[in-house]
Every structure is written in C-alpha cells, then in structure tokens.
Amino acid sequence: MSAIVVKGGRVVDPAHDIDGPADVRIENGRIVAVGKRIPTRGATVLEARGRVVCPGFIDLHTHLREPGREDKETIATGTRAAAAGGFTAVCAMPNTEPVNDTAGITRAILERARTDGAVRVYPIGAITRGSKGEELAEYGDLREAGCVAVSDDGRPVASARVMRRALEYAQAFGLTVIDHCEEPSLTEKAPMNEGPVATLLGLRGWPGAAEAVMVERDVLLAELTGGKVHIAHISTAASVDAVRRGKRRGVRVTAEATPHHLLLTDQVVRDTEYDTATKMNPPLRAEADRLAVIEGLRDGTIDCIATDHAPHTVDDKKVEFDQAAFGIVGLETAVALCLDRLVRTGIVSVPRLVELLSTHPARVLGLPGGSLALGAPGDLTILDLDRERTVDPARFQSKGRNTPYGGWTLRGWPVATIVGGTVAWQDTAVGAPRRRSDRRRAPSRRRAGGS
C-alpha cells in the first residue's frame, strides 16, 4: 500500500463547497480521507501549511504533437510541462500526424502516455477523418479506445451539415464535440485580429465575426440536435454573447477561454513590433473583446480556462510574422498567470479559479477527477499564492519556447502536482516530501528559490 497525506493546507474543493484548513489522504491512487487531523500512519507526508490544496487541474486543450511532430513536443515533454504547470491531466488534441481519427492511434497515444507520461492523458479524437471536415470519424471505436471528446481543432468544421451530423452521432457515445470556431472564407491568410492595429501594421485581419458566426451556428445546431458542444478558446464579445444566450435557452453548450485571450490584446503585436510569440489562432483580440471574455468568466458563461498549449520549434517561429506558425505554449504559465492577473486582481476568487481549472473541465467532458470525493483519483494541485517567480522560457519542461510571457514576474505559482498519489512534480525550492518520522519543519522561507 502506498499512501500520502497532504497536511495542513487550505483545501479548496468547489464540487463539495469546501474551502478551509484540512488534510488530504490518498491511498493506492485514490482519495480516502479529507478532514482535520487525518492520521499519517504509514504515509509520506507533504507539508502544505500556507498553501492551497485543490483537486488536480485538468487542461481541456493541449497539443502534445506526438505522434508525428516530436520535434515540437512529445508526450513525455508535454506531460512534464503539464506537471510543472500544476496540471494533473491534459486532453490531447488530435491534430497530430497522423490525425487521431482511429482507435489504433488513440491506443498508441495512451500506451505512450502510460510509459512516458508524467500526468494523465485523455485523448480527443477527430470529428472527421483526417480532420478534413468531410466524413465523420468512427466515434464508437474512438470512444472505446479511450477518447473523451471529438474535435477537429486547428481546423474549422466548415460544413454546417457535417457539424450537425457530428452533434447527432456523438450522442450515441456520450461524446462532446469541441469546436474551433472559424469561418474559413473570412480568415484566409490572416495572421492577426482584424481591426485598427492590423490596419496600422499592414497585416491581414481575422475578424471576430468569423468566430462568432460559427459559435452562433454551433449553438443553433446543438439546440437542433440536442448534442453537446464545447466552444474552444472563445475570444470575442459576440461569441460570449452567443454562448450566454444559448445557455439561457437551455442549449447544451459550454466554453473555455485561454489565459492569453483573458490577458492580452492585439495591441501587443504592435508593441512588440511583430513578435511571432504574439501570433495565435484565434488571434489576440481588441480590448472590448478581452473585457467581454472576462465578463463571461465572471458570470459563468465561460466554464473553463484551457491553455491551448501549442509548442513550436524555433524555426517555426523565427520567421516573418505572416509566415510563422500560430500558437504559444501555455502549460507552464497558465496557472501562475491566472493567480497573478485574475485572482490577485480580484476578478475571480480562488475557489472560482479551481472550478475553472478542475471542477468544470472534469464535468464538461465527464472525466474522473475534478473533486476530492472519496474514491476520486488521487490527483492534487498545490498552490503557493505568495511565491514570486519570473517566467524563464529556457527552463521550460516543454520543448516549446514560444511564449510572450518571458520575463514576466508573477506572484502565485503551483508548487506541487500529485497524480494518483505520487508526486509528479515539485518545485525544488519548496523542499521534498518527508516521511512521517522526519520531524523537521517545512522551510518557512518559501520564496528562497525565486527568480
């Protein structure tokens, strides 16, 4: 029997309305007790006084790149990045090479995750074969092999007919359809948000309406079919409004937002003079859109925060702006960005953030985890709200260094990640877990290893 007790932390479990000092005991990979003065007999003890202990964070939107683009990321490096960023599970987008559109590929991903993975990997299957937007993939097989949702992320499902069929057919297997909303005829060769900034930079514009028309479409089709649709990386005011209206009507629609759409605007493309670390899809939007996404986060229209972790090689990014690959890495900065820029500023509370990063992601896709219920997976994310550290891309676990946050000093970081009762990652500055016999107190100068 292996056991671990996380002692003396502030336990935040929104699923059970818990927010207070408690210990958490995990045995054989499962939560067995949450409460005061839980016996530590036979267990490794992780001192968490002054820290926040939450059900493990789940990223709904990760690009692990394996198979096919191991130069950008592998399941090993991507899951290490997840662990180091406070995530105990990632949902792997299917736009690998080949696309994860058959059970064999799903099984191969899961097998690699079993041998190399630092955290749990939940594969997402393709909506259509090859993500070409034409014929549906075999959802029954995909589900059976272990896929937790379907998505053609990276590509839009241009045909409304195909999206309708996907939303219908996926219901047979309880799968949610995750859509990357982009009307392709409006975004051809457009590297940034359409608006005054793109005008000044002379770059082709990707209008917010190209997203919103697809969100409106998807909401209407989910209403028509009774299917479950999840809007990936929502980025515009009109999209948030479409989801809000849909939810009000009882449509089964959920949505996620990325830290970058919550924190940055297209102005940074100009401020950084075309730095390709500011190029992503959907692009960074105008301030009014950013504020609307934050409002959606506050009022519950947006259910989750997801990273859209999109690692690329230096060569993919060190080119002209319009030639560069879309996307930034996010696993190792998302939680700290949220703590520093959303929690410390009072936009969301700690429990609400845990909902956005754990409770809801689990609920949206029906994943295990997301709560500290007895018998739930022994996955914990431990946060230190006062730890200050500067983002240093050179020290990322991810192969990707493509981030606009290099040099940002953030306060509030994950300090340990426990997956199935095992410490998957721990900030070296915090000190190792100790056996019961070890009476030494946890180091009190927690910021000692900063910067």
Partner 1 sequence: MTRFRHRHLLGIEPLSREDVLAILDTADGLREVLDRPIKKVPALRGKTVVNLFYEASTRTRASFEVAEKVLSADSLTIATATSSVTKGETLLDTARNLEAMNPDMIVVRHASSGAPHFLARHCKSAIVNAGDGAHEHPTQALLDALTLRQKKGRLEGLTVAIVGDLLHSRVARSNLWLLTKLGASVRLCAPPTLVPPGLGALAPVTHDIDEAVRGADAIMMLRIQSERMAGGFVPSLREYHARYGLTAARMRHAKKDALIMHPGPMNRGVEIASEVADGPWSVILDQVTNGVAVRMAVLYLLLGGAPEASL
- Contact residue for partner 1 among 70, 116, 138, 322 (CB under 8 A): 322
Q: Which of 65, 72, 180, 285 binds Zn ion (CB under 5 A)?
A: 180
355 binds Zn ion (CB under 5 A): no
CA distance 101 to 150: 9
Interface residue with Zn ion among 153, 266, 340, 355 (CB under 5 A) is 153
Query: Would you count residue 203 as binding partner 1 (CB under 8 A)?
Result: yes
Q: Which range binds Zn ion by CB under 5 A, 3-11, 153-161, 212-220, 414-422?
A: 153-161
Q: Which is nearer to Zn ion, 165 or 180 (CB)?
A: 180
Task: Report the alpha-carbon distance of residue 211 to residue 285 in Å, rounded.
Answer: 11
Locus of tokens 């493309």: 269
- What is the smallest separation between the CB atom of 78 and partner 1, expressed in angstroms? 26
What are the backbone dihedrals phi and psi of residue 337, each rounded to the nearest 5 degrees, phi first?
-60, -40
For position 315 contacting partner 1 by CB under 8 A, the verdict is yes
What does 274 interact with, of Zn ion, partner 1, none (CB < 5 to 8 A by kind)?
Answer: partner 1
Q: Which stretch binds partner 1 (CB under 8 A): 167-175, 313-321, 345-353, 357-365?
A: 313-321
Stretch that binds partner 1, among 35-43, 97-105, 110-118, 191-199 (CB under 8 A): 191-199
Q: Which stretch binds partner 1 (CB under 8 A): 79-87, 104-112, 189-197, 357-365?
A: 189-197
Quick one: what does residue 19 bind among Zn ion, partner 1, none, with the CB cut-off 5 to 8 Å set by partner type?
none
C-alpha dihedral (142, 75, 72, 207), degrees to nearest 10:
50
By CB under 8 A, tell whether 321 contacts partner 1. yes
The CA distance from 394 to 397, in Å, is 9
Instruction: Tell me which stretch binds partner 1 (CB under 8 A): 44-52, 160-168, 197-205, 237-245.
Output: 197-205
Q: In the bound complex, what is the minimum distance in angstroms from residue 278's beta carbon to partner 1? A: 11
Residue 180 interacts with, from Zn ion, partner 1, none (CB under 5-8 Å by kind): Zn ion
Instruction: Please identify every residue annotated as catalytic.
Output: 308
Does residue 320 interact with partner 1 by CB under 8 A? yes
Site track 249-288 with partner 1 (rule: CB under 8 A), x = hit: ------------------------xx--------------
Report cis status (omega within 30 of 0) of the bond before 393: no
Supply the minimum distance, in Å, between the C-beta of residue 197 and partner 1. Answer: 8
Six-digit token string for 22: 């408690």
Asked if 202 interacts with partner 1 (CB under 8 A), we say yes
CB of 273 to partner 1, least distance (A): 4
Nearer to partner 1, 15 or 212 (CB): 212
Pick between residue 321 and residue 408 the one whose CB is nearest to partner 1. Answer: 321
Span from 96-104, 195-203, 226-234, 289-297 in contact with partner 1 (CB under 8 A): 195-203
Query: Using CB under 8 A, which of 33, 136, 158, 201 touches partner 1?
Result: 201
- What is the 3-state secondary structure of the chain? CCEEEEEEEEEEEHHHCEEEEEEEEEECCEEEEEECCCCCCCCEEEECCCCEEEECEEEEEECCCCCCCCCCCCHHHHHHHHHHCCEEEEEECCCCCCCCCCHHHHHHHHHHHHHHCCCEEEECECCEHHHCCCCECCHHHHHHHCCCEEECCCCCCCCHHHHHHHHHHHHHHCCEEEECCCCHHHCCCCCEECCHHHHHHCCCEECHHHHHHHHHHHHHHHHHHCCCEEECCCCCHHHHHHHHHHHHCCCCEEEEECHHHHHCCCHHHHHCCCCHHHCCCCCCCCHHHHHHHHHHHHHCCCCEECCCECCCCHHHHCCCHHHCCCCCCCCCCHHHHHHHHHHCCCCCCHHHHHHHHHHHHHHHHCCCCCCCCCCCECCEEEEEEEEEEECCHHHCCCCCCCCCCCCCEEEEEEEEEEECCEEEEECCCCCCCEECCCCCCCCCCHHHHCC
Among 153, 194, 216, 384, binds partner 1 (CB under 8 A): 194
Under rule CB under 8 A, residue 367 binds partner 1: no
The site partner of 153 among partner 1, Zn ion, none (C-beta below 5 to 8 Å per kind) is Zn ion
Cβ 316 to partner 1, closest distance in Å? 11
Using CB under 8 A, list all residues that contact partner 1.
194-205, 273-274, 315, 318-323
Using CB under 5 A, list all residues that contact Zn ion.
153, 180
